[in-house]
Structures are given as C-alpha cells and as structure tokens.
Structure 1
Amino acid sequence: MTLNTQIKQLLTTGQITQTDLAQQAGISTSALSTYLKGTYKGNVENVEKSLALWLETQTKKQQVFVEAPQFIETQTAKNVFYTLDMARLMQTSITVYGASGVGKTKACREYTQRNNNVWMVTSSPSRSSLGAILYDIALTLGVNNPPRRKDNLSRLVINKLEGTQGLVIIDESDHLTYEALEEIRFIQEKAEVGFAFIGNIEVYTKIQGGVNQASKYARVWSRIGKHYEIKASRKDDIKAIVAAWGLDTTDKDLMKVACEIGGKAGSLRILTQYLRLAGITAKGQGTAITLELILQAQAQMKGAN
C-alpha cells in the first residue's frame, strides 16, 4: 500500500481531519491536498518524508499509548459543581481553593462543557494584570480583535455578559493582581453574572484580607458568596479513580498504595500518571495493570533504577 493510499484511508475513517494532519506533519494544507490528488508541483519527496514520519509517530502511539479514563465524577467534583452552581444561580462570586492535583481544574472544565453560558479562562504570571485577564475573557467570550485599552475592554466584557445569567471561571486566580480582582468585582455586579476564583490557598488568603474593613480587599471579600476549600484528596475520590482504571478496589494492598500516593502533594494527578505508566507497561506485556506495575511506575517516575 502506498503512503498516499494510507493517508487517504486514515482521512476517510474520520480519525483526523486533513487540516489537523497537515499541521501535525508540518506541511501546508494546500500541499497535502494537492499531494493526495497527485497534482503537487513542489518537492514530493519532502512532503512524503514528513508524512512518513507523522505516520510512524501515530503507529508508536497506538502501540504504547494508554489513554486515561474520561472525566471521573468524584465526590470532590460534585462538590465543585455545587459551588459553581451557587455562583451562577445566585449571581455572586465564589472561591474554590486548596491542594494541588485534586481535580479542581478538571471539574471546572467538565462543568463548562456541561452548561451553557459558562466560560473558563486561566490566569498566569504573564496574564495576571487587569488588561491581560480582561483580554483573555473577551477572547473567550468570542470577541475578535479585542481592544487593548482597559476601560474599553471592561465595557465590552460587561456588554457581552449582561443578560446571559452566566458564569466566568478563572483558574489559577491566585496570580491575579488587586486591580484585576477589583475590576472583576465591578464587572460581576454590573453584568449580574457569577464569577468563580479557582486556585491554591493564596486565592483565599489574599481575598480574606478584606475581613478587615480597612483593607483594600474589603469590597472584594464582602461580595464572595461561598468558599469551598479542598484540603486533600478524599479516599472515595481515590477509590473512584482506581475503579475507573478497571482495578479491584477490594484489594487492600492495592488500595493502601493508591491512598498513600493519592494522599501526597499532587495527589490524584500523580496517581493518574503512575496508572498511565503502569498501563503502558501492561499493554506492552499483554497483561492487566497490577500493584507491582504501579510500584514499578512509581519508582521510574522518582528516577529510581
């Protein structure tokens, strides 16, 4: 079977679009289109080399890659959903904060997919200022070429949000500056929508400064309708993840190790990484994931021989 035929068959199955394939292979969509038609006028050898390398990579992925289970609705995720519902229905601001790697972000992404008029953006050190976060919110709301002036951005965001009865989720919001938090408070009240601040303990402690009425954060603090702290991963969350990977949750030794891994910093995220690596090894051996393979994956991730 020629390379041209192989690529055509992949596109016919709908596994990937022609645009995505061209991008992943590092060639232009027009080059791929004309190559498949047999009318490409450029260097065919270069195009085929790029496509052959891409195909080789896909084959390797199929041989070794193990996909993690789709979203797992743990009890923590349900609690996050409830808190986000509160923000949206009461048109208020909420915080979800605490330990890293316990599923806050995944729960928020899933909530965004399940509900209309819910938008999610992520702050970062480079996107913590008022102008930067407003620009990201505007893009997420579907604004093309948003203005750069902060006052114009704020008005535009308010106009987009008014009447939606929606919710804006800001992940890693511990990065946000005071100016950004204060403007978001203003937008939330004017547009009458919900806002959710997601992040680590700094989200709460920063805003909590507003308990003191003399604090500059007082206006922000008084507008927060609910706080949800996640101190650590729950045992039933760990059990749900183990079950989602098809493992026996009645195996006491297995669950002991899973709880030990899931109870540390990074918790559920790290447990999933170990399970994925163990799954890759199991797939190569033609076996199921075992406790031994999980421990082996743990040792590999820690750099042990």
Structure 2
Amino acid sequence: MLINQIKQMMADKELTQTQVAKECGFSAGALSSFLKGTYKGDNDKLEAALQSWLDGQTQKTAVFVSAPDFVNTPTASKIFADLDFVKMFGKMGVVYGASGVGKTQSARQYTKQNNNVWMITARPSICTINEVLYEMALELGISDAPKRAGKLSRMLKTKLSGTKGLMIIDEADHLPLKVLEEIRILQEDSEVGFMLIGNDKVYTQMQGGFNQQHQFARLWSRNAKKQSVQKNSKQDIDAVAKAWSIDLSDSKLMNALYTIGQSAGSLRALTNYLQLAGLTAQARGEGITLPLILSAQKQMEC
C-alpha cells in the first residue's frame, strides 16, 4: 500500500512530512491528511505525485553513491579545537584560508555536535549591520526580530548572554569594518564566543591590511585564535580515502589523490571526483579505481 511505503521510506531516510511535501509540491497538511486516510482533495493527483517521489527515492537508494556525511580529518580536528577554545573562554577568533579545504564543513559539523552553537553565512545581500544582526536573530530562533539595528543588538545581547555559546559567521570576508566592529562589541557585551570563517581577505580586513594601527587595533587585538588553512595535508587525504573504502596501500592511486587533494579546491574537488567515480564503480560492481577517478576528473573539468 502506497501509504505504508511512504511512511517506511520517511522512517528509513529520517525525513519529515514537511520535507516530503515540499519535494512533491503540496502542503504538509495535505500529506498529513493523506497518510491518515482523511484527505478530501484530489487523491489521484496526490497519489501520482507521491508515487513519483517514492520511485525517485528508491532509484537513489539503488544507484546513487553519496559522499560520507563528514570526514574527521586532522584539519577538521584543528578547527574543532579552535572552536572549542573560543566557545569555552568567550573569545573572538578567525579561521581563514583557501576555498575547498573543509572550513565550512567542519564548522557545520561542530554546530551539529554541540549545544548553543549557531552558524550564519554572510553574503553580498547579508553584509550590513541590520542584515547580519537580523540573520543572527533568526538563527537564535527570534522569529519576530525587529529590523532596527539598535533594538536588534540589544535583543541579541540579552539572548546570548549567559549561554556560554558560540556564534559562527561563515563567508565573513564579505563583512566591512563597520560590521566587524559591531560584532566585536556584541561579543564583548554578551561574553560568548564568535568565530569568523572565510578566505584570506577576512584576515587582512581584521588586520587592517598590514597596518594594525588606529581603527583596526581594537578589532585585531581581540582575536584570541587565528587559524590559517591554506591546503590539506596528506593525512587529510588519507582520512577521505579511508572513508571512501579506498586501498591506502595503492601508492599510485594515493599519489594521484594527494595531487588532486592538495591543489586548488582540494577536498571539495576530490569529493566530487570520488562521487562520480563511485557511481561508475557501483554500476560495474567494483571498487573505485584510479582510471575511474581520472575519468571523473576529466569529465568535471571540461
């Protein structure tokens, strides 16, 4: 029976009714009624949409090779340690460096694993004081947050104070000095940890270029932790390869992974290649080999 199949798939993949309804294009209320057998609308249309969704999920389960949810690499462990420090002591820190080395994924995993850790992402549309403070408020569960910066700041100070928590701001290189100063003051007033994550630009902005004088001095001196991650180590690549069940004793294959994983984009690119290679490997009923990885690399770089 379709209802039982839908319920089983939701249980197996730990999906909520809201998620399934959104993917099928109708309301969570309609799905809830259907699963209870009380839906009064067009049951044929809804059943067709659910059957199509179920078929898609079954196909994914059969042929799709996904990346491991998270690989705890040595680099990730270092980032975790810095996040622990700024959270424990209510300090401000920055993790900066090349893209694709695992900074964001490490921060997301840390957020999942720890209480009172919140994470927002700055971007061109979220880089003013109002927008950044409002994003923090939403992350903290303040659904009726005001739009005025002053009121927002006071509300956030009250909400954060005493939590012994940590606010992580990813893509912080988008933030100008005025916003960084607002964050510094909020961090000091609330006495919770703040970690800024981004590329090298966030480091130079907080440093004031190469000049630590004048308006940048207060900001720069508050940074208790400064972690640079410019590329991944061979140990990082080993951890990723092990997570994908690759034979680490195959020196030719591993040397190729080191070359890929320590170049621009590093772990992100390597994971993409492994995912595509894994699809082919599974279809053939074999393990991931060097030719499959190189073929995936060639396809994705075209």
**Which TM-score band (shorter chain)?**
over 0.9
In structure 1, runs of 5+ residues without a counterpart are none
Q: Distance in 2 between matches of 1:269 and 1:146?
A: 35
Q: Which residue of 2 aligns with 1:238?
A: 237
**Counterparts in 2 of 1:14 and 1:166: CA distance versus 1, 3 Å:** closer
**Counterparts in 2 of 1:190 and 1:36: CA distance versus 1, 3 Å:** closer
Q: Distance in 1 between matches of 2:89 and 2:216?
A: 21
Q: Which residue of 2 aligns with 1:50?
A: 49
CA RMSD of aligned residues (A): 1.9
The answer to whether residue 151 in structure 2 is matched with residue 152 in structure 1 is yes
Contact 2:33 2:39 in 1 (8 A): yes
**Counterparts in 2 of 1:283 and 1:178: CA distance versus 1, 3 Å:** same
Q: CA deviation at 1:228?
A: 0.7
Q: Which letter does structure 1 place at the counterpart of 2:123?
A: S
Range with greater deviation from structure 2 (284-293 or 24-33): 24-33
Q: Which residue of 2 aligns with 1:223?
A: 222
Q: Distance in 2 between matches of 1:14 and 1:297?
A: 28
| 1:86 partner SS | helix
Q: CA deviation at 1:14?
A: 7.0
Contact 1:210 1:219 in 2 (8 A): no
**Counterparts in 2 of 1:229 and 1:287: CA distance versus 1, 3 Å:** same
Q: Distance in 2 between matches of 1:13 and 1:231?
A: 39
Q: Which residue of 2 aligns with 1:108?
A: 107
Contact 1:27 1:50 in 2 (8 A): no
The answer to whether residue 195 in structure 2 is matched with residue 196 in structure 1 is yes
**Counterparts in 2 of 1:162 and 1:36: CA distance versus 1, 3 Å:** closer
Q: Which residue of 1 aligns with 2:169?
A: 170
Contact 1:210 1:217 in 2 (8 A): no
Per-residue CA shift, 1:140-162, capped at 9, x if unaligned? 11212100000000001111111
Range with greater deviation from structure 2 (12-21 or 290-299): 12-21
Q: Distance in 2 between matches of 1:96 and 1:242?
A: 25
The answer to whether residue 152 in structure 2 is matched with residue 131 in structure 1 is no
Per-residue CA shift, 1:210-238, capped at 9, x if unaligned? 76454422221121112111111111101
Per-residue CA shift, 1:68-111, capped at 9, x if unaligned? 12321111111111211221233221110001111111111122
Q: CA deviation at 1:8?
A: 4.8
Q: Distance in 2 between matches of 1:8 and 1:235?
A: 43
Q: Distance in 1 between matches of 2:106 and 2:288?
A: 26
Range with greater deviation from structure 2 (286-295 or 5-14): 5-14
Q: Which letter does structure 2 place at the counterpart of 1:30?
A: G
Range with greater deviation from structure 2 (213-222 or 137-146): 213-222
Q: Which letter does structure 2 place at the counterpart of 1:29?
A: A
Q: CA deviation at 1:205?
A: 0.7
Q: Which residue of 2 aligns with 1:208?
A: 207
TM-score, structure 1 length as denominator? 0.92
Q: CA deviation at 1:37?
A: 4.8
Q: CA deviation at 1:27?
A: 1.9
| 1:105 partner SS | helix
Per-residue CA shift, 1:228-281, capped at 9, x if unaligned? 111111111011101111111121111111011111111001101111111111
Where in structure 2 are the equivalents of 1:29-48 lying within 5 Å?
29-48=28-47
**Counterparts in 2 of 1:164 and 1:211: CA distance versus 1, 3 Å:** farther
The answer to whether residue 268 in structure 2 is matched with residue 277 in structure 1 is no
| 1:144 partner SS | coil
Q: Which residue of 2 aligns with 1:95?
A: 94
Q: CA deviation at 1:283?
A: 1.2
Q: Which letter does structure 1 place at the counterpart of 2:191?
A: E
Contact 2:177 2:206 in 1 (8 A): no
Contact 1:174 1:199 in 2 (8 A): yes
Range with greater deviation from structure 2 (6-15 or 180-189): 6-15
Aligned length: 302
Q: Which residue of 1 aligns with 2:184?
A: 185
Q: Which residue of 2 aligns with 1:142?
A: 141
| 1:249 partner SS | coil
**Counterparts in 2 of 1:118 and 1:39: CA distance versus 1, 3 Å:** closer
Contact 1:210 1:221 in 2 (8 A): no
| 1:233 partner SS | coil
Q: Which letter does structure 2 place at the counterpart of 1:150?
A: A
TM-score, structure 2 length as denominator? 0.93
Range with greater deviation from structure 2 (287-296 or 203-212): 203-212
Q: Distance in 2 between matches of 1:213 and 1:240?
A: 38
In structure 2, runs of 5+ residues without a counterpart are none
